[in-house]
Amino acid sequence: MTDLYAVFGNPIAHSKSPLIHAAFAAASGQDMCYEARLAAVDGFFQAISQFVADGGKGANVTVPFKEEAFRLATRLSERAARAGAVNTLAFDGQAIFGDNTDGAGLVADLTGNLACPLAGKRILLLGAGGASRGVIAPLLAERPASLFIANRSADKALALAAAFADVAPVEAGSFGETAGKSFDLVINATSASLAGEALPLPPGIFAAGCLAYDMMYGKGETPFLRQASEQGAARCADGLGMLVEQAAEAFRVWRGLRPATAPVLATLRAGLAG
Ligand code: ATR
């Protein structure tokens, strides 16, 4: 029987996950189907119960349900426990395994697709919400020279840095407190561009050869990447590769093999360009 998977979110209609996982399944010969399911904002647990009753084997979880998925899991991976959020669920009888593949997806995109090793790099992470929290431990595991978390509300950045202090020293502060420093990699994990707002980034933070990375993506250049190239970033990348790589990590959790990502990424990129 064909194994059933789905992504849950609200909204969900424009999710690319069904297309990505269908391509992975076809390329790796896995007998599975993958749907997008809309859950009511207050109906996530109910939607998951129904899905499990329907025979669902696993699920991806996106905005705004990642914290609820974290609470729903009966067992967590270490990286999900660290992230405080779950984007991948696997169902086995009464047991619900929760994982978080976002950080691994980001690191795979940076180190693999973008050929940007992180060891020894000075990294600036912009934002201190869920998107930021989910990637900190995987970034630190690559042994960068330093990690600075900057946020509009500096207190949230400081709290986040403190939460990871046992892993490695992490600096934190307001955007203004990055003045006078420079970085080899600047990652945007804020949702500022959704509001069309530029970030108050001091001049000079982009070191020579710096890669600016936006976890967001869309048609054309994102507002953050436009700002970064105007301020001197040498290279820019959006989050489409992270999307495909986090999906490949989830696929591995469910199916035990990691599918090739390059063909799917190329197809999605062509779709965005068209
Ligand atoms: P997510 O789960 O996507 O990270 P979130 O938890 O709501 O969402 O966090 C949004 C992040 O974007 C926060 O770091 C937020 O800054 P504050 O903590 O100061 O609110 C940041 N953000 C949102 N809009 C922003 C803006 N216009 N300028 C700067 N930062 C912004």
Residue-wise pLDDT tens digits, 129-140: 999 999 999 999
Q: Is the CB of 199 under 6 A from ligand 1?
A: yes
Residue-wise pLDDT tens digits, 212-235: 999 999 998 999 999 999 999 999
Exposure class string for 163-202: b at 16+ Cβ within 10 A, else e: ebeeeeebbbbbbeebeebbbbbbbbbbebbeeeeebebe
Q: Are 49 and 19 in contact (CB under 8 A)?
A: no
Q: Is the CB of 127 under 6 A from ligand 1?
A: yes
Residue-wise pLDDT tens digits, 190-212: 999 888 788 999 999 999 999 99
CATH of 103-240, one of 3.20.20.100, 3.20.20.210, 3.40.50.720, 3.40.50.300: 3.40.50.720
C-alpha 61 – ligand 1 centre gap (Å): 20
- Cα separation, 256 vs 273, whole angstroms: 32
Integer angstrom CA distances of residue 252 from 21, 23, 151, 247: 11, 14, 33, 9
**Residue 122, pLDDT score:** 98
Q: Is the CB of 151 under 6 A from ligand 1?
A: yes
Q: Is the CB of 134 under 6 A from ligand 1?
A: no
**Residue 194, pLDDT score:** 82
**Residue 97, pLDDT score:** 98
pLDDT over 80 at 185, yes or no: yes
Q: Note if 16 is an active site residue.
A: no
C-alpha 225 – ligand 1 centre gap (Å): 17
* pLDDT, mean over the chain: 97
Same topology between domain 3-100 and domain 103-240: yes
Q: What percent of the chain has pLDDT over 70?
A: 100
**Residue 274, pLDDT score:** 76
What pTM was estimated for this model as a whole?
Answer: 0.97
Return the closest-CA partner of residue 147 out of 135, 131, 129.
Answer: 135
Find the mean pLDDT for residues 41-51.
Answer: 98
Is domain 3-100 classified as CATH 3.30.43.10?
no
Active-site hit among 16, 57, 66, 121 = 66
Q: Is the CB of 113 under 6 A from ligand 1?
A: no
C-alpha 132 – ligand 1 centre gap (Å): 9
Q: Which atom of ligand 1 lies at the shortest distance from residue 63's CA?
A: 2
**Residue 98, pLDDT score:** 98
User: Which of 191, 216, 243 is the best mutation target for the ligand 1 pocket, counting ligand atoms within 8 Å of the beta carbon and taking the most?
Assistant: 191
Domain ranges of the chain: 3-100, 103-240
**Residue 254, pLDDT score:** 98
- Closest residue (by CA) to atom 5 of ligand 1? 129
Residue-wise pLDDT tens digits, 72-93: 999 999 999 999 999 999 999 9
- Cα separation, 40 vs 209, whole angstroms: 45
Q: Is the CB of 155 under 6 A from ligand 1?
A: no
Q: Are 6 and 56 in contact (CB under 8 A)?
A: yes
